[in-house]
Amino acid sequence: MLFALRRLLPKKKLPKTFHRHEIPRHVAIIMDGNGRWAAERGLPRTAGHYAGMGALRRTIRAASDLGIDVLTVFAFSTENWKRPQEEVDFLMRLPQEFLETDLPELMEKNVQVRMSGSREGLPVHTLQAVDTAIKKTKNNTGMILNFALNYGSRAEIVTAVRKITTLVAEGKLDPHDIDEKSFSQYLYTAGLPDPDLLIRCSGEIRLSNFLLWQLAYAELWFTDVYWPDFKGEHLLAAIEAFRKRDRRYGGIKL
């Protein structure tokens, strides 16, 4: 683990070695601030989104090196369809470009790609790129890279309720068998552990309809850094803050 940290920070800034239990198992990131990053440089918003791919690459490498099990990134929300069509079209092309370019490295790092979100409304070329990456990495046993794409947490919960009520109406599910654990299996993130740590960039302090159910006991870490400027040192700072938190889950330590 110390070797991984040395690759992420200059030696003079190296924190003490993290123990494995101090590393969050699942990290979720709201990759915010691309548009403002571009505006401050007199660039179009699309330039900020493109620069954000570089931050995603750096973060994937850092998270994988640190031994994080799951990295979920908020790539496109159900509310993002309200943006100008030109920007939406650009955002829909980014997964294709990123996955086509970076798939060899993801394979080398043993990363498994998944997607959480609704497939409805996504362009064919976007779905094909995601599906290809999922298929080619399905047997990888390293970090899970989970793209929250066309994702909205309230819609996710409503969809889960519809599935459950349909099964109950068909006599295939007893309502008394529904509990928090079973309900989670009807969410897009079924099979994944809940996030331990949420990171949000750009100075905004809100969840923005992201993983509302799953983040119930996550530690939250906010930074003013715009996503395109996010680096391994920022991920380490978030984890350093995480390891100092006292996670009691509503109880007390005796």
Do the beta carbons of residue 43 and residue 215 sit within 8 Å?
no
The answer to whether 209 is a known catalytic residue is no
Q: Which of 69, 80, 131, 194 is catalytic?
A: 80
**Bridge partners of residue 112, in order along the sequence:** 144
As a whole number of angstroms, the distance between CA 59 and CA 106 comes to 12
Rounded CA-CA distance 198/204 in Å is 13
Main-chain phi, psi angles of 244, to 5 degrees: -95, -5
Distance CA 227, CA 203 (A): 10
DSSP E strands: which ranges in 65-168? Answer: 70-77, 112-116, 144-151
What are the C-alpha distances in Å from 164 to residues 67, 118, 182, 223? 35, 17, 10, 38
Active site residue 80: yes
Catalytic residue, from 32, 65, 102, 196: name it: 32
The distance from CA 182 to its chain's CA centroid, rounded to whole angstroms, is 22
Catalytic residue list: 32, 80
